[in-house]
Chains A and B, each alone.
Chain A
C-alpha cells in the first residue's frame, strides 16, 4: 500500500467514529472531555455551534454517533454521548455573551424561510450573523416544528425547547406565525433573494381497509393526534387504545395515550419485533411503562358495532429472509386475531405534501411527488429556492434537519455572493501534540473499564400521571464525569514519524489491542490478512508508513485502538506522538462571528 496521507482531513476525521457518524460532525470527544471537567458552558457552545439544539438533541437525538462509537467494538455499549450532551445543556451558565454578534448594518439580502422547524431555524442561525435578514413563515402559532407539535413533553420539556428556539429567534428573525403559505409564487413575488423550504413531511399515512370510513370518529392519525395534544385541543382518549405501527411515532402515541386515560394501550406491528423501525431505547421506554407490543399483526378490517369502532381484525404474519437478508412478509395461515378497542392511533408513516407549490414556476418534481433537490447544495431546479429537513427527501430526524440547514445556509450565502455553490468552505482542521511531560498528556489516557451508566428515571407511577413530567432525569455531575471518562478520546490521534523510528518493537509489545505491526508491505487485502490480528473490519482504515530502514513498513489497524498513548509513552524516540485532531465542518458562519463565539 501507499503511505497514508494524514494531511487529508478525512483520514483522521474517520478515526473519530462518533464525529464522522454525526450528520453535523459535532466534535464529540472534545465536548465530552469538557463535561468531565465540569466545563458545561464550554461543552454547550461546542454543541451549539455544530448542532444548534443541544438541550433538545441531548434528549431526543436519533444518535447515529452511538452505534458508531469505538467502545462498541471493544465492549458492549457505546459511550452515552447523547445523554452527556444533555448534561452540558442543563448545567451550563449564561452563554448570551458568547453568541455571535449580529451586525446592525445588514447586507441587504432578504431570505424567506418557510416552516419553523429545526431545518429553517438552523438556516436562520447561520445566516443572521452574516448580516442577512431572515423572514420566517409558520402556519402554527409557535416555532419548533415537530419538535414542539409531535415530540411529547415527557420526553422534551417545553421550556427546554423554548429556550433553544428563542435563542435563535432573538438573534433577530422576522417571524410571521399563524401564516400558512398557500402559494410559493406569492412568496417569491415579495422579492426575496432566496427561499428555504423547511416544511417537513406533514401528512400522516392512512390505511384504506374495510370499516375505515365508518370508524372515522375513533381513528386518529398519529402525528395529528400528537399535535392536537401538544396544543391542548385533545385532552382525553378512550380506555382501550390500539396503536398501529412500529416506528418512533407509534412509541410516542402509545405513551401519550397511557398518560391521557388509556389503561389498556397496546401496539401492533406488521413485522417481527426485531425489525421494528423504532429505536431500541424508545421501544424499551414503552415496554418499561407496561405497554405490550404485538408483532406480526397486520390490520385487515375495522369492526363496527352500533355505528362506532369496536375493534380491529388482524391477520398473523410471517417473515421470510432471502439469501441477501432481504425480508418479505406473508400471512402465516394462523386464524385472524380480533382486538377490541375504543380508539385507534394510526402511526404507519408520514408523507410529504406540497400542494402550495405551483408546478409552473420552475421547480421540478419527480414521479413520487418529491422536488428534485441537489444532494450537496440543497438547491432545487429553481436556483433561488432551496429545500432541507424532512421536506427535502422525506422524514428523517432533527440532527439531519440541522445538517441540511447548515449546508443550505452555505449555498444561500454563496448564491447571494454570486459564488459557485460547489465552491464550498473547507473544514477547519488542526492537529497538535498533547504531550505535557515525559508521561504526561493533556488528556486522561488511563482507560476506564466501567460499563455504561443507566440514566435515572422519574418514579414510574408518578410520570404516568402527567403528560409533562419528564421521564428521564439526566445524569448528575458525578455520573456524567464517570460516563465521560469512558470516552476513548478518538480525536487524540496516534501520529507516526518514520524518520524517527528505530524499529525497537516497544510499541508493538505494549499495545494492549495489537494494533501496531512492522511488516513487509503488500496490497491492502494481503496486508490486512498478515497483521498480528488480521484487520477484518473493512470500514476501518490501515495507517501505513513509508519504508523503514529494514525495508518494512509500519501498519496500524485503526479499528480498536484505545488511544491510550502507550505506544507514544514506550517509544524511545517519540516516533509516535499523540496529537489532537480538531475538525470543524465548513459553515456559512465559518467567518469570524461564530469562530469568536466559541
Chain B
C-alpha cells in the first residue's frame, strides 16, 4: 500500500476511448494491498480491459467475497455498482442480482480460499446454472488476508514459507468449471498483461459462465523458492497454449494465422474471438480432451495458460430457466400479479 493518494495528474497524451475516457477514469481508490501483490496487477488489467471495451462503468456490477483478492473491487471502476459480500457467498449475490437485472455486466472477483474452500458449493452451482458473469479467481495458493494458511489450490508439492509440507491434493478450479458446464474457461498469470487483458475482454463479451483462473503471486506469504505460485515458478513453468484476440463488432482487423491453427467464434454481440493455437495437440473446443490434457499438465507440474475451453454455443441461466425478456426488476405489479382470471386459466391447465 502507499501512504499518499495517487496524484490526479495524468499523462497529457494518454489515449482516450470512444466514450472520451482515459484508462485513469476506470480506476478506483488506491490499493491497500502489499506492495508487489499480483492482485493489483489484475485490477490494472481489468481497468485496461474495460477501457478498451469502452464500457461505461455504471453498466458493470462488481461482486466479491472476502479476502485480499475480494477487497480489490474497491481498487478499480469507482463508478461501477458493487457488492462486497460474505466469505464464499459471492455467487449467490451475483445470481440474485443477475436474475433481477440481466442487462448489467457481472464481474465477480474471488480468491482461491473464497472459491475453493468455503465457497466451493456456491461456485459449483453458479457454474452449473451458467450464470452470465465473469468469475475471476485471483489464485495465490494461500489465504493471504488471514496471514498465509495453505488454500485448497496450493499444489501438493508446494511448501509454506517456513518449509511446512502441504498434505492435501489440490483442486484445479479450471477442470471443475469445465466439467460443470462453464462455457469459457481460461487460465492466466498476473505478471502477463499482454495475455490477461484480451482474456478479460473476451470473458466480458461472452454470454454464459466465463471463468478466469489467474495465478497471482502473494509476495508476502507465497512467493518463496518452494512455492509453485511464485513469480519465478510461474514464469519457468508456464506453457502458453493459445493466443486470443477479441475482434470487436464492426471492426475489419484480421490476423492471418496458418490454416488449421486458429479457431474463430462469433459471439452473440457480433464480436469475434480468434484463438491462435500454439500447442498442436490441444483442442479448446473439445470438452473431453481439454480435461484430459489439463490432468496431464498438472501431473507434469506445468502451468498451462490461455483459453482452456471455449463453447461456441453461448447459453446462460436465463436461457435454461426460460425467464421473460424483460428484466424482473422492471416488471410492474400488474405483470407480476396478473389477477385471478389468469390464475384460473393457469390452474385449469393442471386439471
Q: Which residues of A contact B (CB under 8 A)?
A: 73-75, 439-440, 445-447, 449, 502-506, 508-510, 512-514, 533-534, 536, 549-550, 560, 562, 564, 566, 569-573
Q: Which of A533, A570, A573 contacts B11 (CB 8 A)?
A: A533
The reply to whether A571 and B36 form a contact with Cβ atoms under 8 Å apart is yes
A503 touches B36 (CB 8 A): no
Interface contact A505-B7, CB-CB below 8 Å: no
Nearest A residue to B24, CB-CB:
A512
- Contact present for B35 and A570 (CB under 8 Å): yes
Q: A549-B232, A566-B6 are in contact. List 18 more A-B contacts (CB 8 A).
A: A73-B12, A74-B12, A439-B1, A446-B5, A449-B7, A503-B231, A504-B38, A504-B231, A505-B44, A506-B37, A510-B40, A512-B9, A514-B14, A569-B3, A570-B35, A571-B36, A572-B35, A572-B36
Q: What's the A-B contact tally at a CB cutoff of 8 Å?
A: 97
Bound Cα distance A513, B9 (Å): 7
Contact residues in A for B1 (Cβ distance below 8 Å): 439
- Shortest Cβ-Cβ A-B pairs, 10 listed: A572-B36, A447-B7, A509-B44, A439-B3, A446-B4, A569-B2, A504-B36, A513-B11, A512-B7, A572-B219
Residue contacts A-B, CB under 8 angstroms, 19 given: A439-B2, A439-B3, A449-B7, A504-B36, A504-B41, A505-B44, A506-B35, A512-B6, A512-B7, A512-B24, A513-B11, A514-B10, A514-B11, A560-B12, A562-B7, A564-B7, A570-B36, A571-B35, A572-B36
Q: Does B113 contact A (CB under 8 A)?
A: no
Q: What's the Cα separation between A570 and B219 when bound, in Å?
A: 12
Interface string of B295-326 (1 = CB under 8 A from A): 00000000000000000000000000000000
Q: Which of B2, B14, B43 has the largest count of A CB atoms less than 10 A from its CB?
A: B2
Please pick, from A445, A513, A536, A572, the residue contacting B4 in the complex, using a CB distance under 8 A.
Answer: A445
Cβ–Cβ contact A502 & B37, under 8 A: no
* In the complex, residue of chain B having the shortest beta-carbon distance to the beta carbon of A557: B11
Minimum C-beta distance from A575 to chain B (A): 10
Closest to A449 in B: B8
Contact pick for A562, options B5, B9, B13, B24, CB 8 Å? B9
Which A residues are CB-close (under 8 A) to B9?
74-75, 447, 449, 512-513, 560, 562
Taking CB atoms, residues of chain A closer than 8 Å to B15 are: 533
Most chain B beta carbons < 10 A, residue from A439, A506, A549, A564 = A506
Q: How far is the CA of A435 from the CA of B37 in the complex (A)?
A: 21
Assess whether B217 is interfacial by the CB under 8 Å rule.
yes
| B28 interface hit (Cβ, 8 Å) | no
List the A side residues contacting B36 at CB < 8 Å: 502, 504, 506, 570-573
Which of B6, B217, B219, B232 contacts A510, CB < 8 Å? Answer: B6
Pick the residue among B3, B191, B235 that contacts A505 (CB under 8 A): B191
Bound CA span A506–B42, Å:
10
Cβ–Cβ contact B4 & A566, under 8 A: yes
* Pair B231/A502 contact, Cβ less than 8 Å: yes
Q: Is the interface of A mostly helix, strand, loop or mixed?
A: loop
**Minimum Cβ distance to chain B for residue A488 (Å):** 9
CB distance from B117 to the nearest CB of A (A): 26
B2, A506: Cβ atoms closer than 8 Å: no
Residues of chain A with a CB closer than 8 A to B190's CB: 505
Which residue of B2, B35, B40, B191 contacts A503 across the interface (Cβ within 8 Å)? B191
Verify A505–B41 contact, CB threshold 8 A.
yes
What is the 8 Å Cβ interface bit string for chain B, positions 200-214, against chain A (1 contact, 0 not)? 000000000000000
A559 to B244, CA, bound (A): 33
Q: Is B34 an interface residue (CB 8 A)?
A: yes
Q: Is B193 an interface residue (CB 8 A)?
A: yes
Contacts of B35 in A (CB 8 A): 506, 569-572
For chain B residues 13-68, which have a beta carbon within 8 Å of chain A?
A: 13-15, 24, 34-38, 40-41, 43-44
- In chain A, what residue has the closest Cβ to B217? A504
One of B10, B44, B217 near A513 (C-beta < 8 A): B10
CB distance from B53 to the nearest CB of A (A): 18
Residue of B nearest to A533 (CB): B11
Please give, as numbers and ranges, the residues of chain B lying within 8 Å of A449 by CB-CB distance: 7-9
Q: Across the interface, do B2 and A509 meet the contact criterion of CB distance under 8 Å? A: no
Give min CB distance, A505 to chain B, whole Å: 5
Complex-state Cα separation, A549 to B7, whole angstroms:
31
B11–A560 CB distance below 8 A: yes
Q: Is B13 a contact of A570 with CB atoms below 8 Å?
A: no
A566 partner residues in chain B, CB cutoff 8 A: 2, 4, 6-7
Q: Which residue of B lies closest to A503 (CB)?
A: B191
The CA of A571 and the CA of B7, in the complex, are separated in Å by 17
- Given A504-B217, A504-B231, decide whether A509 and B13 contact each other with a Cβ distance below 8 A: no
Question: How far is B190's CA from A73's CA once the two chains are assembled, in angstroms?
Answer: 32
- Beta-carbon contact of A504 and B12 below 8 Å: no
**Known contacts A505-B191, A533-B11, A536-B13: does B38 contact A510 (CB below 8 Å)?**
no
Q: In the complex, A533→B11 CA distance in Å?
A: 8
- Compute how far the CA of A447 lies from the CA of B3 in the bound complex, rounded to whole angstroms: 12
CA distance A580 to B76 in the complex (A): 33
Quick one: CB contact mask for B167-202 with A, threshold 8 Å, 1 for yes?
000000000000000000000001101000000000
CA distance A200 to B176 in the complex (A): 86
Quick one: closest A residue to B38, CB to CB? Answer: A504
What residues on B are CB-neighbors of A573 within 8 Å?
A: 36
CB neighbours (8 Å) of A513 from chain B are: 7, 9-11
Residues of B within 8 A of A440 (CB): 3
CA distance A440 to B190 in the complex (A): 28
Q: Would you call B14 and A550 a contact (CB within 8 A)?
A: no
Nearest-neighbor residue (CB-CB) of A75 within chain B: B9
- Min Cβ gap B57→A in Å is 18
Q: How far is the CB of A378 from chain B (nearest CB, A)?
A: 40
Q: In whole Å, how far is B310's beta carbon from the nearest beta carbon of chain A?
A: 27
B13/A502 in contact, CB under 8 A = no
Q: Give complex CA distance A104, B145 in Å.
A: 71
Chain A positions within 8 Å of B11 at CB level: 513-514, 533, 560
From B2, B5, B12, B232, A502 is in contact (CB under 8 Å) with B232
> For residue A445, which residues in chain B have a CB less than 8 angstroms away from its CB?
4
Q: In the complex, A349→B325 CA distance in Å?
A: 81
CA distance A508 to B44 in the complex (A): 9
Question: Which chain A residue lies CB-closest to B236?
Answer: A549
Q: Is the CB of A534 within 8 A of B40?
A: no
Within the complex, which residue of A439, A502, A509, A512 is in contact with B40, where a contact is CB–CB below 8 Å? Answer: A509
Q: Which of B11, B24, B43, B191 has the most CB of A within 10 A?
A: B11
A442 to chain B, nearest CB (A): 14
| CB-defined contacts of B12 to chain A, threshold 8 Å | 73-74, 560
- What is the CA–CA distance of A550 and B12 in the complex, to the nearest angstrom? 30
Q: What is the bound-complex CA distance between A75 and B5, given in angstroms?
A: 19
Kindly provide the distance from the CB of B30 to the nearest chain A CB, expressed in whole angstroms.
Answer: 8
**Which B-chain residue is minimally distant from A444 (CB atoms)?**
B4
Quick one: closest B residue to A536, CB to CB?
B13
Q: Which residue of A lies closest to B6 (CB)?
A: A512
Neighbouring B residues of A536 by C-beta, 8 Å: 13
Q: Report B64 CB to chain A, min CB distance, Å.
A: 19
